[in-house]
Structure 1
Amino acid sequence: MSPPVLSCRALRKVYAGHVVLDRLDLEVAEHEVVALIGASGSGKSTLLRCVNLLEELDDGTVHLDGEHITAPGTDPDLVRRRIGIVFQSYNLFPHLRVLDNITLAPVRVHRRPRAEAEEQARELLARVGLADRADTYPDRLSGGQQQRVAIVRALVNSPRLLLLDEVTSALDPELVGEVLTMIRDLKTAGMTMVLATHEMGFAREVADRVCFLDAGRVLEEGPPRQVLGEPTQPRTRQFLRRIIEAGRL
């Protein structure tokens, strides 16, 4: 039996005396989509940043396809070729064209031939309806288009795992749909994903499993219909009640 794509064991992260991840465990199987939900400060974004080696753990281990990627001496650039991450702020370089934003890391960091990287970038842009925007600068794109470019940038190295951190939260409501459609298409194509989201309806639709984080731990997890419809933990029920009252479920 093959190992899970992602395995997190007893992750612990402390900021200025505040425990953000408290011996958190998580596994993600190949082609699985896991949605992380929970209040702000529950550890969702920190978990994704630790998996991508943007933050250093205080304790615990992360394995990718069975390889211990948090071991001392690990080259984070090599790991990030296999783990793509997209943030709520698009983080596109405003002085670079869309095509240059996408190919910057593959060419400069990973030493891929420019022609090869540009060919793949153009193919991905065509798949998401942005083929005609390759030579456009980010400030000429809508927020939804910029976020789709950011996702393409994370996909250009054909990662084993894609991490999505509240990728729709900075968008106007009418632009959310185009990004969610792209994520649905990635799921259909078999991409393994972990996404932190406040879009509960989307989590219900696209996720294979929902994990509710509270105080740095996975307090409850299961199929979306169970966690979002019939949660067993009082804290989960309290969180979802507030989401419903806010009209977001």
Structure 2
Amino acid sequence: MEVKSLRKTYGDRVVLDDVSLTVGAGDVICLIGSSGSGKSTLLRCLALLEEIDDGVIELDGREISDPLVDPREVRKSMGVVFQAYNLFPHLSVLANCTLAPRKVHGQSRAAAEAKARELLERFGLAEHLDKHPDRLSGGQQQRVALVRALCTDPELLLLDEITAALDPELVGDVLGIVRDLAAGGTTMVLATHEMAFARDVATKVCFLDGGRIIESGPPEQVLVEPEQPRTREFLRRVLPG
């Protein structure tokens, strides 16, 4: 994915300003920054859930930000997971995970269920496949949301603060899954407040402030020896000791 000079406003408020970003196959791009810095809006723009005011978004060399492009077709190649889970409450875990493969990608019920069962087993959820979301813990629901996104074999996974709503003891479980996905070569762009996780997993870290990418580079540079004063100030506030 290639993002060029992206701009997004809500009325008179500029939320993203001249944002450019390159995501290569197998990259894990961690977006860091204070609440309100533009991380979530950037992810929503990449998923074509928000219209942009200016700039270009390309996926595999095709401009997907063109208003004539059908966003539903583009999103077939993406998996998107938000901190709010967004599971369908009236469907079982298995039904949640097989809905998109069957209805959007045209898979047979048997093929969709086989894939979902395999992933649910892998992520420790096999015993819950017939349960509805309200019978699960927050950590389990977030893992189901990840499995649902992976059931369509996405080229690109977009994750928005997926541990923000979890109790501290559940954060490690969910981050462990994302760590395994990264090790397996899954291409991801994720917003996170987990600096240690970003340091260990990211191929690139982007620090956003006021809707702009102030600094970007490998985690050992941005998180350990940042060049920009604003990055250093942010890290002093969020890193222990």
Q: Quote the Cα distance in structure 2 between the aligned partners of 1:61 and 1:124.
A: 34
1:189: which partner in 2?
Answer: 184
2:218: which partner in 1?
Answer: 223
TM-score of the two chains, using structure 1 as the length reference: 0.94
Corresponding position: 1:42 with 2:37 = yes
1:236: which partner in 2?
Answer: 231
Q: Quote the Cα distance in structure 2 between the aligned partners of 1:13 and 1:115.
A: 42
Contact preservation (8 Å) 2:207, 2:213: yes
2:170 aligned to which of 175, 179, 199:
175
The code of the aligned residue for 1:33 comes to: V
Deviation at 1:112, TM superposition (A): 2.5
Q: Quote the Cα distance in structure 1 between the aligned partners of 2:165 and 2:222.
A: 25
1:103: which partner in 2?
Answer: 98
Contact preservation (8 Å) 2:7, 2:15: yes
Q: Quote the Cα distance in structure 1 between the aligned partners of 2:216 and 2:52.
A: 23
Moved segments of 4+, more than 3 Å: none
Q: Quote the Cα distance in structure 1 between the aligned partners of 2:109 and 2:68.
A: 29
Structure 1: unaligned runs, 5 residues or longer: 1-5
Q: Quote the Cα distance in structure 1 between the aligned partners of 2:234 and 2:16.
A: 19
TM-score of the two chains, using structure 2 as the length reference: 0.97
Deviation at 1:98, TM superposition (A): 0.2
| % identity of equivalent residues | 63
1:79 aligned to which of 74, 78, 103:
74
Q: Quote the Cα distance in structure 2 between the aligned partners of 1:127 and 1:111.
A: 24
Deviation at 1:108, TM superposition (A): 2.5
Task: Please give the residue correspondences for 1:15-54 in structure 2 after superposition, counting only pairs within 5 Å.
Answer: 15-54=10-49
Deviation at 1:106, TM superposition (A): 2.3
Deviation at 1:164, TM superposition (A): 0.6
1:91: which partner in 2?
Answer: 86
Contact preservation (8 Å) 2:102, 2:109: yes
1:201: which partner in 2?
Answer: 196
Contact preservation (8 Å) 2:100, 2:152: no
Corresponding position: 1:152 with 2:147 = yes
Structure 2: unaligned runs, 5 residues or longer: none
Deviation at 1:75, TM superposition (A): 1.5
Deviates more, 1:111-120 or 1:194-203: 111-120
